[in-house]
Amino acid sequence: MSRSDRTHWHRYSPVGLLGLALLLTGNAVAHDLIEVADHMVTAADRFLRTLTPGQRAQATFEFTDAERLNWHFIPRERRGLPLGEMAPEQQHLAKALLESGLSHGGFLQASTIMTLETVLRDIEKGSGPLRDPSRYYVSIFGQPALDRVWGWRVEGHHLSINLTLNGIDGISATPSMFGSNPAEVREGPLTGTRVLAREEDLGRALLESLTEEQLRAAILEGRAPSDVILGPGREVEILEPPGLGAYAMTPAQRERLTALVKVFLERHRSEIAESEFGRIEDVGIARIHFAWVGGTRPGEGHYYRVQGPTFIVEFDNTQNQANHIHSSWRDWHNDFGADLLKEHYESEAHR
């Protein structure tokens, strides 16, 4: 957007006027998040306007409906409106809603995860669960508006994107789950595709940079778990032992650790990722821990986690001969916008 266009937008848009006020007070991050929230409201509204009454009944829920917290990443029946029951123009607008919350790279990952359903279908030849890239569901919770609390979800096999918006006060993007089966496609036209390559490679590069003494703290005893530990149905909690602290790393190793954390955050819009990383920096990079469980050579089942005072990311590659990845980003206090909602309700009570 050019300087003249931005001035024009600020002059006539209600959110622009508020954003201009925030810029004048120096709160550029809040201004950026308001723009993102405005994009999401627009995307959700355009999608909902195309739905028939029956489709709208499937896709929409009260914000307080328990379904909002009912997330998962396995192939199962879900509530919401699946892509397969949408007209082509509705599918385009559903994907535009997904794109409003993700970065370009994150949207490419999510789209490829959906496409891998066809690869699995060919590999399993009908012997496994139903594999269908049209079985990804869109759900809207509450009324999309800048002055309301609302949320949306796009979910299916190996993908769960949950966004919660508290008016103009903030955006929560967790729980966030991306998985990939196969982790590396080894046959067919997509041979060589690795959807979560950076997550795998940066985690391994950090491990390989550690000294023997550091490895004794970072590598935990036992076999790698068969899945992420803090999956659906589990509240976020600190996992013990924590592993190697960033305070015990060299500057170069801390840079690798920071890059690894950012890979998980940067699946989402840059404005969201920057806001979340700002929270992490505020409490201190030195307080982050890195832990690895399982084999250390390529092809061996392994798991790692990175956790700090505000977040935890998990990465598990153990299933299907270590060619099947689950990875997640959770927030200690703000999954499903818990902190945002607390602020909202306290503000409402005060008023």
State pLDDT tens for residues 11-37: 334 445 444 444 444 456 678 899 999
Task: Supply angle C-alpha 332, 149, 102, rounded to 5.
Answer: 65
Give the pLDDT of residue 342. Answer: 74
Which residues 6+ apart lie within 8 Å of 182 measured at CB?
A: 116, 119, 120, 123, 320, 323, 324
The pLDDT score that the predictor gives to residue 205 is 98
For residue 24, the model assigns a pLDDT of 40
Contact, 98 vs 114, CB < 8 A?
Answer: no
Within a 10 A sphere around the Cβ of 4, how many other Cβ atoms? 8
pLDDT digits (tens, 9 = 90+) for 134-143: 999 999 999 9
Per-residue pLDDT at 343: 66
List of residues 6+ apart from 312 with CB closer than 8 A: 230, 236, 238, 239, 305, 306, 329, 330, 332
Q: Give me the pLDDT at residue 29, please.
A: 63
Asked whether the bond before 144 is cis by omega within 30 degrees of 0, the reply is no
Mean pLDDT throughout 200-219? Answer: 98
* This prediction's pTM: 0.90
Banded model confidence at residue 246, pLDDT cuts 50, 70, 90: very high
Predicted local confidence at residue 8, as pLDDT: 36
| Position 189 pLDDT exceeds 80 | yes
Check whether 126 has a pLDDT greater than 90: no
**C-alpha span between 286 and 293 (Å, rounded):** 21
Task: Calculate what percentage of the chain has a pLDDT beyond 90.
Answer: 83
**Per-residue pLDDT reduced to its tens digit, 97-119:** 999 999 999 999 999 999 999 99
Residue 82: closest CA among 130, 137, 128 = 137
Phi, psi angles (nearest 5°) of residue 337: 70, 30
Highest mean pLDDT among 8-17, 52-61, 125-134: 52-61
pLDDT band (50, 70, 90) for residue 165 = very high
Model confidence pLDDT, tens digit, residues 295-336: 999 999 999 999 999 999 999 999 999 999 999 999 999 999
Q: Report pLDDT for 169.
A: 73
Q: How confident is the model at residue 346 (pLDDT cuts 50, 70, 90)?
A: low
Shortest CA distance to 96 belongs to which of 177, 51, 41? 41
Q: State residue 67's pLDDT score.
A: 98
Question: Is the pLDDT confidence value at 10 over 70?
Answer: no
**157, exposed or middle or buried, with CB in 10 Å at 0-12, 13-18, 19+?**
buried
Q: What are phi and psi of 321, to 5 degrees?
A: 55, 45
Residue 2 has a pLDDT of: 37
Q: How confident is the model at residue 5 (pLDDT cuts 50, 70, 90)?
A: very low
Q: Whose structure tokens read 């990443």?
A: 73
Report whether pLDDT(177) > 50: yes
The pLDDT assigned to 349 comes to 53
Give the model's pLDDT for residue 167: 72
CA angle, corner 275, sides to 269 and 281, nearest 5?
130
Query: What does the pLDDT read at residue 301?
Result: 98
Residue 23 has a pLDDT of: 43
pLDDT band at 1 (very low <50, low <70, confident <90, very high): very low
Mean residue pLDDT of the chain comes to 91
Please determine, for residue 163, whether its predicted confidence score (pLDDT) is greater than 50.
yes
Residue 284 has pLDDT above 50, yes or no: yes
The yes-or-no verdict on residue 74 having pLDDT over 60 is: yes
